[in-house]
A and B are shown apart, each in its own frame.
Chain A
Amino acid sequence: MRHTISILLENEAGALSRVAGLFSARGYNIESLTVAPTEDPSMSRMTIVTKGTDEIIEQITKQLNKLIDVIKLIDLTEGVYIERELMLVKVNVSTAHHREEIKRFVDIFRGRIIDVSETNYTIEMTGTGDKLDAFIKTIDSTLILEVVRSGVLGIARGSKSLRV
C-alpha cells in the first residue's frame, strides 16, 4: 500500500543522504521525496511517499526513527490528512485554437497561467497527484514541452501536528 510519511529532521549537511541511503541500501521504494527547512531553520521537514506491505512500512518507519538525525515522524496514512503537489507545465500554444483549449482546461482544473510568450504558456497547478495526472492526460500530449513536479507534501487534518 502507498504511505505518506512525514519526518522532522535536523537540518544538517548529509541528513538527506542518510534518508536516501537508507531507502536504497534496504531496497525500499521512494515514489517521491520533498524536503525544505521549517519555520525553525535548525529543522527540515521531509515528506516521503513510499509503497510496501504493512511489514515493510513498519520497518521503514523504525529504520527512519533509528537515524540519529531524525527527530520525529508520522505515517500520515494512518489518519486523515491532506496531500498536495505543485506542478509547472510549459505547453506549446502557437494556434488560437490551442490557446483557447488550454485556457479552458486550466480553468476547469483551477490552475493558473503564470507566464505567457508568443508561442508558450506556463501553467501552475496544485492538487493531489491524481488531479495533476488527470490534467496531463487531458491536454494534448504533443503540446507539452516540460513538466516539473514538486513531489508530494502532506499534513494531518485537524489539530494533530508534527512538531517537537
Chain B
Amino acid sequence: MNKANEAEMMMGGDIFVNALIAEGVEHIFGYPGGATLHIYDAIFKQNKLQHILVRHEQGAVHAADGYARSTGKPGVALVTSGPGATNAITGIATAYLDSIPMVIITGQVPTALIGNDAFQEVDAIGISRPCTKHNFLVKDVKDLAEIMKKAFYIATTGRPGPVLVDIPKDVTINRAVFEYPETVEMRSYKPVVSGHLGQIRKAAEMMLSAKRPMIYSGGGVVLGDSSKELIDLTRLLGYPITQTLMGLGSYPPTDKQFVGMLGMHGTYEANMAMHECDVLIAIGARFEDRVTGAVDKFCPYAKIIHIDIDPSSISKNVKVDIPIVGAVDQVLQDLIQTIKETDQKPDAEALTTWWKQIEIWRAKNCLRYDRNSPLIKPQFVLEKLSELTEGNAFIASDVGQHQMFVAQYYQFAQPRHWINSGGLGTMGFGLPAAMGVQIAHPDETVVCVTGDGSIQMCIQELSTCQQFDLPIKIIMLNNGYLGMVRQWQELFYDKRYSHTYMEALPDFIKLAESYGHIGMRIEKPSEVENALAEGLAIKDRLVFMDFVIDQDEMVYPMIAAGKGHHEMLLSPEGELA
C-alpha cells in the first residue's frame, strides 16, 4: 500500500463518529468503558457530535428513546461491553415494544477474544436478538461504515425499531478508508409503503355503509407522522374516534368526535362504543391485550378494517375482515381520496342515532372525581397542569397510576408530546426519557410525571440533569405506595398489600437540592395551582415537585382481567351519575 492511501485510512473509532455525523446525528447518549475507549477518544477529538454522559446505561437508552419519540429522528446510545450492554437491555426492550427508531452501539471485547469468557464479555448479539429489530456484529473495520448505514436504514424504515451494532475493540483501532454509502439496497428487506388500492376501495365501502362506526387509532399514527391525515379522515366521516395510550396527541382531545382513550383505563363512552360498533376502523394500532380486554368479548358486532405497516400485526390477536398493509399516511391519503370520489355518503340518520347513544354514555362523566377532598387528588394536579400548559408541554411519564392519570387528564394538543413506555411498561423510563426530550427541545417545557416508586429506578439521572443544565419539571405524585400494584391488591387480593408500601422514602426536596436542583413539597389542594405555576415559570432550573396525594386514589374506569369492554368498573363518583 502506498503512502497516499495510508493517509486516507481512518481508525474504526473515527469511522464510527464520521458515520454518525454523515447520518446527521447531533446528540448521542452514552457511558464509556474499556471496549469503547477508542470511540470515546474519537468523540473527544471532534465537536460536531455532542455526547451526553448519563449515570447508568439504562438512562442512556431511555434518553435516546425520548429524543427519538419527540423528534421522529433516530435516537443513538453508546455503551461499553459486558455490563454496559446488559444495563442497556431494559431500554432497548422498551424501545422495541413501542417501535422506536434507535441505533444502540455496544462495545465488544477484541475479536480474538470473543467466545473466551473474556473480561466484560457478553454475547450482546444473542442477548439483544429478541428485543431488537435487527443487530449486527462488526467483524472487520472495512464493513463498519456500511453496517452503520444499514443500521440507521433498518431502524427508521418500515415499522421502526431499535437496531444494535456490536463493535469489537480491535475494529475501533484498525484502519480502513472511510466511504459512507449514500444508499442501501437489501434484497431481504423491502418495507411496503402504499396500501393495496383494491383493499382500500373495499374498506371505503364498508366504512360508508356502517351504522355504528368507530375509529380506533394507535401509536402508528404518531410514529408515521400521520396526524393530519387522521384528522382529515375523521372529520370527513363524522365518526367517533378513540385512541390507544400510544396514540394520544394525534387527534385533538377537545374535539367533539373524540371519545377518549379506550382499553383497561379507557373512558366509559369509548369502551361502550367499541363494544357496540358495527364497523371498526383500526389505524396504526395493534390490538394489544390492555386495549382489547378479553378477546372473546371484543367488538362482538363489528366487521374490522385494519391499517398497519407491519403485516404480522394483522390478525395476530383479533381476526380482521379487511387488512391494509402500508404506511399510515399513504393509506389514509388514498382512503380519503377514494371516499371523496365515491357517491356513497355516510348514513346520516344512523349516525345521528349512534351519536345520541354515545352522548348518553358520555354523560356518565366517568372521569369525575371527588373535588371536595381535603387531600390532593392526582387527577386535579394533571388537570391543572394541562390547563397551565394548554396541552402543549412534553410529558414524559413513568409507569403506574400516575401514567394513566396523565393519559386521562392531560389534553395533548400535539403528537410526539406524550412520551411513555406503553408496551413494556418500564418504571424508570420517565426521567431519562425527559432528558432526551429536553436535549432535543431546549426551549420547550418538558415535564416528567412520576411516582415515588418509579422515580427511584433512575433517580441517579438527576446528576446528568445538573451537568447538562436540563430544566425538567418533575411532578411526582407521591402516594407512598406502588400505587398501581396496590390498586390490584385492593380490588383482587382482598387488600393484602404485599410489598407495595415504600416505607423508607427519602426527603425528595433535600435529594433534589443535593444535586443542585430546586425542590418543592405540595401538601394541600389549595396550593396545587400556584405551585405548578411557580414551578413551570422557572425556566432555567430543574424543579422537583413532590405532590403529597391521596394515598387511596384509584384509576377508574377499569376493565379487570378476563372482562370485556362493556364490563368496566366505574369509580364511586362515576357510579353516582
Contacts and interface: CB of A to CB of B under 8 A. Distances in A.
Q: By DSSP majority rule, is chain A's interface helix, strand, loop, or mixed?
A: helix
A164 B188 CA distance: 10
Interface in A94-116: none
Contacts of A25: 130
Residues of A in contact with B, size category: 20 to 34
Given A18-B129, A21-B130, A68 B187 contact: no
B198 interface: no
A28 to B, nearest CB: 13
A63 B189 CA distance: 13
Interface string B309-335: 011101110010000000000000000
B265 interface: no
B188 A71 contact: yes
Nearest to B189: A68
A68 B315 contact: no
Interface in A57-73: 58-59, 62-63, 65-66, 68-71
Given A17-B126, A55-B319, A62-B312, A71 B187 contact: yes
A10 B134 CA distance: 13
Given A14-B125, A59-B316, A68 B130 contact: no
Interface in A1-58: 9-10, 13-14, 17-18, 21, 25, 55, 58
A10 B188 contact: yes
5 nearest A-B residue pairs (beta carbon): A62-B312, A68-B134, A71-B188, A62-B311, A25-B130
B315 A55 contact: yes
A68 B164 CA distance: 13
A63 B134 contact: no
Contacts of B137: 13-14
A164 B312 contact: no
Interface residues of B, number: 19
Among A62, A70, A164, max chain B CB count under 10 A is at A62
Among A13, A18, A65, A68, max chain B CB count under 10 A is at A68
Nearest to A62: B312
Interface of B: 125-126, 129-130, 133-134, 137, 154, 186-189, 310-312, 314-316, 319
A164 B273 CA distance: 47
Nearest to A22: B130
Interface in A109-151: none
A14 B127 CA distance: 12
A66 B133 CA distance: 9
B67 to A, nearest CB: 24
Nearest to B325: A62
Given A14-B125, A55-B315, A55-B319, A66 B188 contact: no
A39 to B, nearest CB: 16
A69 B188 contact: yes
Contacts of B312: 59, 62-63, 65-66
Given A10-B188, A17-B129, A71-B188, A66 B310 contact: yes
A71 B129 CA distance: 18
B188 A70 contact: yes
Contacts of A18: 129
B315 A58 contact: yes
B163 to A, nearest CB: 9
A55 B318 CA distance: 10
A65 B125 CA distance: 20
21 contacts: A13-B137, A14-B125, A14-B129, A14-B137, A18-B129, A21-B129, A21-B130, A25-B130, A58-B315, A59-B312, A59-B316, A63-B312, A65-B311, A65-B312, A66-B312, A68-B134, A68-B154, A68-B186, A68-B188, A71-B188, A164-B187
B321 to A, nearest CB: 14
A63 B311 CA distance: 9
A22 to B, nearest CB: 8
A69 B132 CA distance: 13
A58 B312 CA distance: 9
A157 B362 CA distance: 60
Given A14-B129, A65-B311, A66-B312, 6 more contacts: A13-B137, A17-B126, A55-B315, A66-B310, A68-B186, A164-B187
B371 to A, nearest CB: 47
